[in-house]
Chain A
Amino acid sequence: MGNHNHTHNFSQQFEFAGKAKSWSLIAIVIGVIAIAYGFLLDPHEEHAQRTFANLLLMGYYFTCVCAAGAFFLALQFVAQAGWSAGLLRVPQAFARVLPIAAVVLVVIVAAGLLTHNLYEQWHPSHHEGAEGEHGITGSKATFLSVPFFLVRQVVFLGIYSIFAVLLARFSSNEDTEGGLSNYNKSFKYSAIFLVIFGFTTPIWSFDTIMSLEAHWFSTMFGWYNFAAMWVSGLCAITLTVILLKKSGYLSWVNQNHLHDLGKFIFAFSIFWTYVWFAQFLLIWYANMPEETVYFYKRWEPSYKPWFWLNIVINFLSPVLILMTRDAKRQTAVLTFVCILLLCGHWLDYYMMIMPGTMEEHHTFGITEIGIALGFAGLFAYLMLTRLAERPLVAKNHPFLEESLHHHI
C-alpha cells in the first residue's frame, strides 16, 4: 500500500458536450414552453397560480439540492472525512450553482408574492379590513410582513451562496497552491457555515413553504424540510457520480464509495420518515383544530392517494430495497433508488405546497411535468458546466490517498 501506486489520471476533466448537453438544453426549452403554456394557454381556471405553485416547487427543490451540495462539502470538512475526498468535485459543482439557484428562487418568491399568486394567506393587502377573521395579527404579522420576508430570503440565500462559493474556491486554490492552508480554511469556514445553516434553514423553510398556510404552524417543519433537502441532495450527488462513472470518468471512485453514499441515502430516508412521523403523530394525538387542518386537507379524497404514495416511495422503498449490503453495492439498484427518491421528493414538496395554494383545484399535467423537466435540465446544464471547468479531483486534498484506498 505504498504511495502513488495507482494509475488514475488526476488531470482528467469532464467534457460537457454531446447528448448530455443537448438533452439538458432540450429540457430547458421544454420548461420555458411549459411556463409560457401555464401562464397563457392553460385552460385551468387558476392557471397563473398553478404555474407559480409549480415554479415555487421546482425553484425550492433546485435551491435545496444545490444547498445540500454545499452542506455535504461542509460536513466532510468538519468531520475531516477521508473517504469522500475523491468525489468532492461533484458536490462542489452543486455548490457553485447555488448563487444562481438562489436568484431564481428569490425572483419566483417575490414575483409570486407581489402578484398575489403565492402567500395569499398572509399578504396584508389581500385581507384589508378583514383582519381578525382571516388576517394574520400580532407578532406573526410583523414576522410575515413583505419587506422583512423578502429581506430574510435574500440574506439567508446570500449567506449560503457566499459560503458555497468560498468552499469551492478554497478547493480550487488548493489545486494550484498545494499545502494545508486551504484545507484548514475550509475546515474553519465549514464549521461556521454549518452553525449558520443549521439555525437558519428551518426559518428559511418556514418562510418559503410553511407560510403558504400561514395560520398553521409546526416546529418540526424545518427539520422535515431539512431531511427532504438532504436526502434529495444525496440522491442527486450519487446519481451524478454513477452517471460520470458510466461515461468513463472518476476511475478512482469505486463500489466502496457508492456503498457509503447508499448508506447515507438509506439512513436519511429513515430520518425523513422519523421527522415526518414525529410531526404527524403529535398533531394527530393532540387533535387541535388549528393544527389538524394541515392533515385534514391532505386526507381529502383528491390528496389521499398521494399522501400514501409519498410514504411508500420515500420510506418503504429505500428501506426495503437498500437494506442489504449487496443492494448498496450494485450500481443498477442504487441508480433506481436515486431516481425513485428524486421523484419521491418532488411528490413530497407537491404535498407540502399544493394543498396550501391550489387547494382542491390541484392537478397533474403539462405544467407540472414541463416545469419539473425544465428545472432538471437547468440544474444539469449549470452543474455540468461548472463541473467541466475544473479537474474531476482535488489532487492536493490531504486525504485523497485515504479515499483511493477506501475499503469497507
Chain B
Amino acid sequence: MSNTKYILGHFEDPDDMMHGIEKLQENNVKIYDVYTPMPIHGIEDKLGYKRSRLPIAAFCFGITGTLVGFSMIYYMLVYDWPMNIGGKPPFAMPDFVPICFELTILFASYGMMFTFFYANHFFPGRAPRVMDLRATNDRFIIAIDAQANPYPDKINSLLNEAGAIEILHNERKYVSYE
C-alpha cells in the first residue's frame, strides 16, 4: 500500500472537469472534494451536496438578537428605571421595534460570519488549509481520497481520459502549511 493520501486531478477547462466528475461517479469512485477558482453552476447538485445550513444558523442568531434587544430595553426602561419620556408609558412597544430590529440584524450578520469562519477554520494567525494552491488561480481540481479508493491506476486512467493535464499523488493532505 502506497503512502499516497490524496489524488488530485488538475483540469484546465471546467467542462472537462465536469466530465471527469461524471466519469468517476460512473465508476463508483468517491470524490472527496472539488476545488475551482470560480463558482460553477450546478456543481453542488452534481456532487450531491446538501444545502448549506447557514440560513438556519442565521435565523437562530436573528431570534437571539430580537430577544436580547427586547429584554435589554425591558430591563432598562420598564423594570430597573422607568422614566416618563414624552408622556409615554414606560412599556411603549413601538419604541422597542427599531432597537429589536437593529439587534436582530447585528446578531444575524455577525453570527453568520463567525459561523462561517468556524466551519471553514478561519482564525487570525491560522494558515489556511488548501489542498492545491493552483485551485485559487487557473486550475480546476478534483480531489480523491486515495485510502478510501485504493486503486490509483484506475483513477489515473479515468482522469486522463476525461482530459486531466496533471495528476498529483500527494502524501500530505494540505500543502499550504509549507
What residues make up the interface of A, taking CB atoms closer than 8 Å to B?
Answer: 277, 280-281, 284-285, 287, 323-325, 405, 407
Contact = CB atoms under 8 A, between A and B. Distances in A.
B42 interface: yes
Contact of B41 (A281, A287, A407): A407
Interface in B5-56: 41-42, 51, 55
A277 B86 CA distance: 19
B168 interface: no
The 5 lowest CB-CB distance pairs between A and B, nearest first, are A407-B41, A281-B94, A284-B94, A407-B42, A277-B97
Contacts of A281: 94, 97-98
Contacts of A323: 59
Contact of A325 (B42, B55, B94): B55
9 contacts: A280-B94, A284-B94, A285-B86, A285-B95, A287-B86, A287-B87, A323-B59, A405-B41, A407-B42
Nearest to A408: B41
Contacts of A324: 55
Contacts of B41: 405, 407
Nearest to A277: B97
Nearest to B98: A281
A303 to B, nearest CB: 18
A84 B95 CA distance: 40
A213 to B, nearest CB: 22
Contacts of B86: 285, 287
Contacts of B94: 277, 280-281, 284-285
Contacts of B55: 324-325
Nearest to A278: B98
A287 B86 CA distance: 9
Nearest to A407: B41
Count chain B CB atoms within 10 A of each CB in A285, A323, A324, A405 and give the residue with the most.
Answer: A285
Contacts of A405: 41
Contacts of B42: 407
Nearest to A323: B59
Nearest to A286: B86
Nearest to A274: B101
A287 B41 CA distance: 54
Interface string B69-109: 00000000000000000111000001101100000000000
A396 B51 CA distance: 36
A330 to B, nearest CB: 15
Contacts of B98: 281
Nearest to B59: A323
